A and B are shown apart, each in its own frame.
Chain A
């Protein structure tokens, strides 16, 4: 592995071929990465030729090259969006100053923490999804899973590059640790809670890619505003790939809904048991999965009041979503934001300093984006003439982080007592019986153009290929 020609094997626009120090660091890390991929990457996929989209450069023609490749041979590139020599910090206390090309000493620890936290989520989701290939509902879906897996792998490379290039020995150690933690490991788990949850079935996978990868979009978008220019440029490029992950989730759930609606119309019933008996996932179960993934994901934004968030913003490390499009002063001192708390058994809003509430600001942006997509899911039901509508639960429902942690709430936002929670929990969140039922539908369908009975075919194929294209060639 040490004789790799990095400029060819690892497409990059960071002059890797001429940076001896970085090359040596990557030469040490790369075999460990491949070992990690072989050990906990997609199970049983080593010999498949997968129709993957591979980035070979950051220009529009270069970053979406399609072809059949083995995942292990995927070109895990290191790409930064093109730089702008005149770019200025556009928020926080350093507003108007030139952006940083190197890590300022005073922000070193915070930046490292931000990058490590982001980096930790990338291999985690690969680990969470490693068994899903064995129960893919179609070859098309299998390919999409694998595409997500390799891109998460590349995003890990992107973060590891920043650590090794800009954080010296600390960075190398953190890069190694990213391959040592494992999702769900009792002794050495991944950093964030949602990334230690199981992704046991494809409905969970679609919900995860819809909600949790959307968290990724918002976190990356906030980092793409950073005053640390290499981080901003790296995350900007990652965002272009993250889009596919959200697409898999959004279209996946849409297709599940379309199939369920079709069967409901055929059988002329909305009885969940009859729908289940027909081999489809009933709408209440889909709603419970939604409630779970939504609530777990919004915890990822952190505590509703956070002095770290204020520090990250004021020091220019992490902006808001679409910071550049906002019309306020981009400093936010003396401004307030409404957060929720429980007072006398009731949810109330209170004003807190805006800077301390930036996690909540980002969470609210995410919620708006998520709700719009749930609206698009409902259009599928509407079109099929089904009156049921999916909804996102209240922001305070099933929260484990922040002021709302541990408070028992109904999905509508009513504070409930332990007794009611215990009685209704299985109406609101997926039960072990739900998981068992969904798992029972997960049989493997991988003949080109064929789909499992609980999901509709997609509207169109990938890269304008037909739906029955041979997306995966089994070795």
Chain B
């Protein structure tokens, strides 16, 4: 049988062309732009070599702050979503009533846009009329009321909490699927041997959930590093630069007309993610490689 005839190469050309045009070529063009001073104030692009990168890594400290914030956001939201997602999943498969209802409710923020979630929490967290501070005042806990999104200390934790609120349901669903795939007799055998809750958790559940934990981590990292919408809507990077991440900084560079600089910042993220991707794709396609 002639494979070439049965599986013609041009069947895959549509995907390749679109992918090249909209994803690959822009990334390469962006690396070229990152070596220029392209901006909205002059009609010529000058080649300036590594100047933009010099500015990012040794020039203005604020750029390193963007990169640091991106990592802080990624690390903390990844851990929070994984731990909470796993906790809720274990809770929901342990025989609580109306588990299906709880699962649907906790998953539901996932289907809303970041814009909507951002606006909802912008209202809830407002220092003056917001629901959270009102409730705290009503409970007599005035000392806890804060300018959640406006304070240098609390803005980043608040943004990360909102993001976790939205994203933990997805991770929970992954873990529920993983937990349901664990054979029941493992636990029965362990119980006969007198294993307690924690022994079962650490000796059976977690080891068998490793593939799910890996995928969840991969998803959380790729999402966290590229985060934009939720921060843009909640704080737009403020106050000061407290919540500015790479992609919000790229957008402000774009809006201010510093297109060369914006491309350089975006390329830094691209390179970081390209390195991470090699590992990630290996993990995600591990089974296929073995086959």
Partners in one complex: no
B-side residues, CB < 8 A to A, are: none
